[in-house]
Structure 1
């Protein structure tokens, strides 16, 4: 598998999450009457998506570590 075929789906997924989270934050702000600008919501969404993806990566690594036998662990 080439790098492009591996990274393109990841980039699309991150972009879609970013757009969805941005819109949710913006609409939630509008609904509560405390709306921030779309740029501020987009910046917050970047942070939330980055934290979520890092947490997911750590969860997958921890699961893989736990499933290894004790002799395979470092």
Structure 2
């Protein structure tokens, strides 16, 4: 990820998910009459976003060699 525009888009995307998830957790807590502080919701959302991004990175890194191999075998199969 050396392109600055790509990195900036990634940071904005993760920030938007974190803010949206924080708001959802806070509103669900209010709706269920079990309010948590906004800081606690933000910390929980940060943890969820971190785990999700790590999982997505692992999924991408593990699926890339196999999918490239399938494409290669499909294209060059006699």
Normalised by the shorter chain, which TM-score bucket? Answer: 0.7 to 0.9
Normalised by the size of structure 2, how large is the TM-score?
0.80
The answer for the alignment partner of 1:8 in structure 2 is: 8
Aligned length in residues: 69
Normalised by the size of structure 1, how large is the TM-score?
0.84
**CA radius of gyration, larger in:** 2
The answer for the alignment partner of 1:21 in structure 2 is: 21
Query: Shift of residue 35 of structure 1?
Result: 0.9
Uncovered stretches (5+) of structure 1, i.e. residues with no partner: 70-74
Uncovered stretches (5+) of structure 2, i.e. residues with no partner: 70-78
Residues 68 and 4 (structure 1), Cα distance of their counterparts in 2 relative to 1, 3 Å cut: closer
